[in-house]
Structure 1
Amino acid sequence: MLHQSDFICNSQGRIFLQLGLKIIIEPQQVICGGLANLRYREYSPSAWEEHHGFPSREVYGQNIVRQKYRLLRFSALVINRVLSKERLPMGANSGVIDMAANLDVLSQSKLWAFGSVGRVLFIVGLLLSSTLIVSADDMSDAKDAFGRHEYVRAFNLLSHLAEDGDAEAQIQLGAMYYHGFGTIADKSAAFRWYVRAAETGSRFAQAAVGRAYQTGNGVAPDLAQAVKWYRVAAENGELSVQRELGQMYYDGNSVVPQDKSKAFYWYKRAADQGEPGAQALLGWMYHQGETVPKDLRMAMELLTLAAEKQVVFAQVNLAYMYRDGEVGAPDKKLAADWFNRAAQAGDAIAQAALGSMYREGDGVPIDSARALNLFRLSAEQGNAFSLTTLGVMYRDGEGVPMNIPVAIDFLRKASSQGDVRAQINLGNIYAHGEGVKPDVVEAAKWYCKAVLKGSFVAKNALAQLSKAEAFKEAKATPDCAPSAN
């Protein structure tokens, strides 16, 4: 195994010193011939004297040899860490203090004449190590300050680090500008710091730049630039962007033409690394047989992985698969469990589906009160199915006192979304005078809306209505032209 000091002999070390310090290390003479072979426990006084031209033990003492050895070795370690972009361990601090404490001893000794290379290595090592240690301390202090809600202090520490090129600090500073922690919120400044971090290769920052271009946060919206940065981040392994890029290819847009094969590729790359959203979307592609043969078992496996990681889309679709028995026999209990998890997360579709199960006693005990509550939660989010169902329940007094005006209000809201069930039920209310004065013209209007959406039930109801005497007297036209309101 190479000794730490052996690093100085490699080409990277020579290049660093040639370009950075304007010093050329002569291989096998200054360092490779001396430091790399120096082991103070094994180095005899005669060998030292033969190599350097003066005795060590008799004049300067073995301790000086140890100090010089430690100095150069520590400096080599520092430069090695710098070139490999590693941070020094915090414990390196003690080494700097020990070295500095003995600087006066070394400067007075002829060992200091070991050569200018040795002196420069020590000075450079001391300075660089101090910088690295301060940087590590500043980042730690910044994180601690943020955790204590000392946002101004965190902002100042991160600003210093970010200006020095620390990518992590640049990202954190961008986030503080974005949210207004420790400074006035400035999304343009946030964007600029994300760009600086992105240019260093930070895939997280590259993703942030892409999102900024997509949403117009801090910069003018530019979908082409968003896609460009998404691709860079995705190629660098940013999982969320791999999924997002897959979604772009799945849907298609003005920059990315729809290409479900590429969508599948990006979903799979992210899903294989455990990204739950990608697992859900990949499972849906297997469920639908998009670009790949339909495979319900694979779909269920992927949807289960995502559902267990709280992806609501996966929970809802997994529940439907269990309810309908798409893989094996129907399992209403499992379906209800998954619908319930999604419903608790606030999903309107899951709330509607679970409400229907409790309303009808489908795999669960009938519970009208619970069903009504679930439908209300779903309807508050504008779910047309729940709005229609509530309209029917209030019309019929199912679990609630009958209330026709409330029923009509729910049904009209659902009908405005094109819900055929709501349109037919409104037609029935006005045709039969259910809690309102009969109005064949109003009934025909609602039936016509459903007919235009292909409803045979509405078509038959309208045919029956057109035979009524009141309809003839009103001279209503049951032809349901597309222009009918």
Structure 2
Amino acid sequence: MVFSILPPLFKRKHATSLTSRLADAQSLMAEGQDPVKGFSHLSVLAREGVPEAQFLVGQAYLNGTVVPANLVEGVRWVRRAAQKHWPDACFILATLYLYGLPPEAESEAEKTAASVFDAEPKGFVKPEANFEKSAYWAKIAATQGHADAQAMYGYVLCNGPEHIRNLEEGMVWYHKAVAAECVQGYLGLGLVILNTAQTDDEYKQAARYLKKAAESGLGTALYLMGVLAERGLGRPVDMAEAIQYYAVAADKNVSSAQAKYGVALMVGQNVAKDTTRGETFLRRAALSGDAEAAATLGDLYGRGGEFPPNYAEAIAWYRFASEHGHAAASYTLGTLYEEGIAVPQDPQEAERWFNKALEQGHEGAPAGLGNLLLEGKISAQAGARVMKRYKEKAEQGDLLSAFNFGVCLAEGVGVQKDEAEALKWLHKAAQGVVNAQYWYGTLLLTGKGAPPNLQEGRAWIEKAANAGMAQAELAYADLLLNGEGGEKNHIKALEFYRKAADAGLVWAMFSVGAMYGGGHEVPQDRLAAQKWFYAAAQKGNAAAQLMLGRYFAQGLAGEHNREQAKFWYQKAAAQNIPDAIQELAELTKQEDNLEPSLL
């Protein structure tokens, strides 16, 4: 009888001893009395197979507490505790697998390795997440009532690869986590509902869960509450409240919130304007990998305004944004190199960035490459690729691509010239693209690709002109002036010349001047004529320079000015205008025959 009760007594004493030893070790570490000694005690217990001690030793290595941080050692000890189904260890192991563990951390070998907490070595590639193993360990802890593990298991089931995804079961585990007041559970459940929400009530339901997570200070939840307030999802739009959420989330290093709050500070949107702080938040967001923030910084330094223009900084941020997948930044770089703005003009670099923008899905990239193609500044290989894309998109019904393809066919750029085929694609594009209406009308007027059709050609150009295309306005004014393809109407012609001139077309400026100068069915106004000739002449129009010379030489607008006449004659003569050369010579001869007192 005595012997039969000895083993249980011995076991209770041993258990009490282990509990006491564990508590002592934790006390030494927690209170900071002698952490090295405390860790030494924990290590002994861990080697004796005590799962809590194994977990705490692993945690010390993972966090770099008392001992140098070492991922391999940390995982090794946490795994041993997890294999004994210690809940915290299972949860941490699941988390590590979701983050991604390097191959060496999978080994149970008794060896150390460079810590992943050190600077990443050159060529370092972040390991991929292992959803299967994360799910395995999270489930063990979750079934024991570990709330954070329940939220994690719900996340894996809702967001993992297709073969393990189970949205219905994931929602069950999220609800379990929420029942335990788990912050991550609130966030996860809110996100699942938000991702599928279509009705106002569904958005409200998502907001209720997200708000609970936000009240606990979870940065992602704070940011999402800002998004809901900004967009008015499940609630009225409230930008002031949205900015408040973004501000708090930004301080918690949520990069998307930093970008939003930075922009708000830059423009003073529902917050006191502070461009310096705004730039700081944008920079923090960009350096965290937020491509939109980086592109915004590029705009900020490229355009100037609150900050002095800094083109080197702007280019650097555009490059950064492009490398992080920002298509518009890639397109902007292509445009800068195409036009030589802030960088040397370089068609090859422009082509490279436009190609990258194209790969990233930018709608304007094909047009950018098309411009280079039309100018003959693009490689044959790239040109063929652009034409292939234009044709594919055009066949799918994209009218802009149909227009670009038609222009290239009409000009024989990138493909063999085929005006009949060009006419077909331009007619298709003309149903919705103003520039295509102008091109199509021009081909019909000139009889390219089909017999001339002056009436229909004029009708298409008129349509483009009425839509505000400056080149079409000029062309339509010419048709009205000459009565080609329809009625002659000088008053209406002047109206469209003025529109084109106001849009900056130099020949339109000259034409307005010519109509006001006389000989047309509009009231003569030579002061106005001289004004428009001057505007065109300043932009290098030789005909306008000749007319200005005549106006000043003959005093046609009331002012004789030989010096001005000679100046403008010389400008026109330099462009080999025969009349300017002759009239300048006559003016000079007249001066030579005049008495000095009359000059």
Same fold per superposition (TM over 0.5): yes
1:161-180 Cα offsets, whole Å, 9 max, x none, are 22222222222222222222
Q: Does 1:422 align with 2:544?
A: yes
Give the letter aligned to residue 227 of structure 1. Answer: I
Query: Does residue 24 in structure 1 map to residue 146 in structure 2?
Result: no
Deviations 1:410-433 (A, max 9, x none): 222322333211122233445566
Gaps of 5+ in 2: 1-56, 66-73, 92-140, 161-166, 189-212, 392-400, 406-425
**Conserved? CA contact 1:67–1:99, under 8 Å:** no
* Alignment partner of 1:266 out of 341, 353, 369: 353
Higher deviation after alignment, 301-310 or 228-237: 301-310
Q: Which residue, out of 216, 230, 237, partners 2:318?
A: 230
Letter of the 2:324 counterpart? N
| Post-superposition CA distance 1:115-153 (Å, at most 9, x none) | xxxxxxx96855875335565344323432999563322
Maintained 8 Å contact 2:470/2:500: yes
Q: What are the residue-to-residue correspondences of 1:286-435 with 2, within 5 Å?
A: 286-292=373-379, 298=387, 304=403, 322=443, 328=449, 337=460, 341=464, 344=467, 348-362=470-484, 365-396=487-518, 398-429=520-551, 434=556
Alpha-carbon offset, residue 283 of structure 1: 1.2
Aligned partners of 1:441, 1:134: CA distance in 2, in Å? 72
- Partners of 1:228 and 1:261 in 2: how far apart? 19
The SS at the match of 2:78 is coil
Cα gap change, 1:79/1:149 in structure 2, threshold over 3 Å: closer, same or farther?
closer
Question: 1:443 offset after TM fit, Å?
Answer: 4.5
Kindly indicate whether the alpha-carbon contact (under 8 Å) linking 2:265 and 2:271 is maintained by their aligned counterparts in 1: yes
Higher relative contact order (CA 8 A, sep 6+): 1
Partner of 2:332: 244
* Aligned 8 A contact 1:303 1:314 in 2: no
Once the 2 structures are TM-superposed, how far is the Cα of residue 471 of structure 1 from its aligned partner?
A: 5.7
1:107 paired residue number: none
Q: CA deviation at 1:198?
A: 0.9
**Contact preservation (8 Å) 1:420, 1:453:** yes
User: Match for 2:151 among 75, 79, 98?
Assistant: 75
TM value normalised by structure 2: 0.54
CA offset digits 1:299-339 (Å, max 9, x no partner): 99658259979999976995798589798468875797478
Give how far 1:190 is off.
Answer: 2.5
**Structure-2 change in CA distance of 1:126 and 1:426 (3 Å):** closer
| From 459, 462, 467, the counterpart of 2:581 | 459
Residue matched to 2:262: 174
Q: CA RMSD in A?
A: 5.1
Give 5+ residue unaligned stretches, structure 1: 1-13, 36-64, 104-121, 477-485
Structure 1, residues 238-271: CA drift from partner, whole Å, max 9, x if none? 22221221223234466x4432112112123324
Residue 287 of structure 2 corresponds to which residue in structure 1? 199
| Structure 2 CA distance for partners of 1:321 and 1:196, relative to 1, 3 Å | farther
Q: Which TM-score applies when normalising by structure 1?
A: 0.65
Partner amino acid, structure 2, of 1:414: A
The one-letter amino acid of 1:422's match is: A
Write the distance in 2 (CA, Å) between the matches of 1:66 and 1:248: 55
Task: Rate the CA distance shift 1:286–1:30 in 2: closer, same or farther, 3 A.
Answer: same
Where does residue 479 of structure 1 map in the other structure? none
Structure 1 stretch 330-339 or stretch 407-416: which is displaced more? Answer: 330-339
Judging changes above 3 Å, is the alpha-carbon distance between structure 1 residues 148 and 17 closer, same or farther for their aligned structure 2 residues? farther
Which whole-Å CA distance do the structure 1 matches of 2:152 and 2:60 have between them?
11
Residues 395 and 407 in structure 1, CA contact (< 8 A), matched pair in contact too: yes
Compared CA separation, residues 331 and 274, structure 1 to 2 (3 A) = farther
1:382-403 Cα offsets, whole Å, 9 max, x none, are: 5432222111101115242112
Q: Distance in 2 between matches of 1:427 and 1:381?
A: 25
Q: Note if contact 1:356-1:371 (Cα within 8 Å) is conserved in structure 2.
A: yes
> C-alpha displacement at 1:451, in angstroms?
0.6
Out of 215, 238, 251, the residue aligned to residue 303 of structure 2 is 215
Cα distance in 1, alignment partners of residues 275 and 157 from structure 2: 35
Q: Decide which moves more: 138-147 or 225-234.
A: 138-147
> Given residue 205 of structure 1, which amino acid in structure 2 is its aligned partner?
A
Q: Distance in 2 between matches of 1:342 and 1:161?
A: 51
Offset at residue 459 of structure 1 (A): 1.5
Q: In the alignment, which of 252, 274, 281 is matched to residue 368 of structure 2?
A: 281
Superposed displacement of residue 30, structure 1: 0.8
Contact 2:437 2:460 in 1 (8 A): no
Equivalent AA in structure 2 for residue 193 of structure 1? F
Q: What is the deviation of 1:159?
A: 0.8
The whole-number CA distance in structure 2 between the counterparts of 1:402 and 1:235 is 60
CA displacement 1:355-392 (0-9 Å, x = unmatched): 33433345565443333222222333554322221111
**Does residue 446 of the first structure (1) align with residue 522 of the second (2)?**
no
Q: Is the Cα–Cα contact under 8 Å of residues 189 and 218 in structure 1 kept in the other structure?
A: no
What is the CA distance between 1:446 and its match in structure 2? 3.2
* 1:17–1:304 Cα change, 3 Å: farther
- How far, CA to CA, are the matches of 2:306 and 2:332 in structure 1? 20
Compute the displacement of 1:182 (Å): 0.2
The CA distance in 2 between the partners of 1:432 and 1:166, in whole Å, is: 73
8 A Cα contact 2:150 2:177, kept in partner: no
User: SS of 1:24's equivalent?
Assistant: helix
Q: Is the 2:229–2:236 contact (alpha carbons within 8 Å) kept by the matching residues of 1?
A: no
Q: Distance in 2 between matches of 1:289 and 1:310?
A: 28
Greater displacement, 431-440 / 359-368: 431-440
